[in-house]
Chains A and B, each alone.
Chain A
Amino acid sequence: MSALAGKELRIVGFLCNWCSYGGADTAGVGRFSQPTDLRIIRVPCSGRINPLFVAKTLLSGADGVLVSGCHPRDCHYAEGNFYARRRLEVFKRLLPTMGIDPDRFEYTWVSASEGQRWQKVVTTFTEQIHKLGPAPRFGLAHEQNPATAAAC
């Protein structure tokens, strides 16, 4: 089913290689049913996630962004997710001023063995995004700029 058909929304998930990606895999191996709106991008660590990734994703037409990493204190690189936690929290708090609903972005922790928890996280988040509906979007490039729009 295509996202464009209207029933699905575009949700992007950044998952850390060591925990949450494994957790999602565990959920798959366990054949837990999950919503299919989420597209997963695997990153080495949640500490790798620059808020820029999330900003770019949201501004480029995603309806929601989910970041998931190892539980604090369980990081494969010892302290990556501690930094991530601070950065992502600050970024989430910036969203209301940007005019984007802060509920469109969540970060959470899922370990490799927590297939059940992954199922819960992804279901809850997808429901939350469906409640919000499609995100406000920028028009096409030439529609965005009144000056160039007049020239077209």
Chain B
Amino acid sequence: MTILTQLKEQITAQLPKLDMVIGWERGYDALHATPLFMRSVEDVERLQIGPLAVHNTATYLTGLKNKKVGLVVKGCDSRAVIQLQQEGLINRENVVVFGFPCDGVVDLTKLRHHIGDIGRVKEVKASSSELQLTLDGQEQQVTLADVLADKCTRCRFPNALVHDHFAGAPREAHAASDDYADVQAFESQPLEARFEHWKQEMSRCIRCYACRNACPMCVCRDHCVAQSRDPHWVTQEDAVREKWLFQVIHAMHLAGRCVECGECQRACPVDIPILALKRKLNKEIKEVFNHDAGVDPNAIPPLLSFQVEEENINERGW
């Protein structure tokens, strides 16, 4: 029995007790999956998992607070569930988690760099090591490792960390630890280059807030600082400074909470590499507070607590 059929069976068995189960289905073309809200047994038939099921299903949880919701989760999605639970933003009793071992997901931006216009792809068959694409009437193989999202190549938690039902056998992690080499590489550039980098990148931002909307940890809803007029911290100007300020705030709001699901960057229509900021903060949080977000439901996010004597903070005595 494949993992998918096993998942479908588990979901079908639980569905009568739930308002809905959130998973993925084929989207408007073969490459794009789209979130699937399963309410009936027929809906369950459309469920798809695999390297194209990129969305973080936990994103919808805070909006469905009073419903009984089932979630199909990858490892990173399950971390988001744990983090939301940790902060008391969801009631764990109302959530049923269906986990499965994840082989990683495809970064469509990478795939575009690889094969050119991805709109030509008519059919996709995915195995655990490669994608078989049908484009322009021909078949083309792409090794999965070449187009895997960066977060997947360093993933330490491919299996759902928390689950009520698990399909298939847990798989081994892709990486034993995360050395934040990307953050260090970026910081090896001179300061001016880094400043210019962000100035350039942020000048492309169209302020669509897809990064915010896709983020499972962005829970302020109508009170978001980006749109609040009272206080009016971020103006409506299309100036780089305003966009950049918003990203900095977004990153700071996620300090110690970001589970690095990468949804912000994936959702960005102009491919701004904003996950870098969150990675940097996670690196520092790990160094200072030895904290990993979304791993332990009983932990406390470091910025929501304090110690009278901080172990790793140098009291500035200058």
Contacts and interface: CB of A to CB of B under 8 A. Distances in A.
B252 A97 contact: no
Contacts of B281: 90, 93-94
Chain B at the A interface: mostly helix, strand, loop or mixed? Answer: helix
Contact of B316 (A59, A90, A91, A107): A107
Interface in B178-216: 183, 186-187, 191-199, 203
B284 A93 contact: yes
B313 A86 contact: yes
Interface string A85-97: 1110111011011
A5 interface: no
Contacts of A72: 308, 315
Interface stretch (B125-133, B152-160, B232-240): B232-240
A36 B283 CA distance: 37
A13 B191 CA distance: 24
B30 interface: no
Interface string A118-136: 0001001000000000001
Nearest to A61: B241
A98 B233 contact: no
Which of A60, A79, A94 has the most CB atoms of chain B within a 10 A radius of its CB? Answer: A94
Interface in B275-318: 276-277, 280-281, 284-285, 288-289, 302-303, 306-308, 310, 313, 315-316, 318
B191 A100 contact: yes
Contact of A136 (B186, B192, B197, B252): B192
A114 interface: no
A66 to B, nearest CB: 11
Contact of A108 (B186, B199, B244, B318): B318
B245 A56 contact: yes
The range of chain B's interface size is 35 or more
B233 A144 contact: no
B6 to A, nearest CB: 42
A43 interface: no
B272 interface: no
Contacts of B233: 52, 56
Contacts of A121: 318
Contact of B248 (A73, A94, A109, A148): A94
B196 A89 contact: no
B313 A85 contact: yes
Contacts of B33: none
Interface string B121-165: 000000000000000000000000000000000000000000000
A79 B305 CA distance: 10
Contacts of B277: 94, 97-98
A77 interface: no
B195 A145 contact: no
A99 B239 contact: no
A48 B281 CA distance: 21
A98 B284 contact: no
Q: What 3 pairs between A and B have smallest CB-CB spacing?
A: A99-B195, A99-B194, A82-B306
24 contacts: A59-B241, A59-B244, A73-B308, A83-B306, A86-B303, A86-B313, A87-B252, A89-B288, A89-B313, A93-B288, A94-B252, A94-B277, A96-B191, A96-B194, A97-B194, A97-B277, A99-B191, A99-B194, A101-B191, A106-B318, A107-B316, A138-B239, A138-B241, A145-B238
Interface of B: 183, 186-187, 191-199, 203, 225, 233, 237-241, 244-245, 248-249, 251-252, 255-256, 276-277, 280-281, 284-285, 288-289, 302-303, 306-308, 310, 313, 315-316, 318
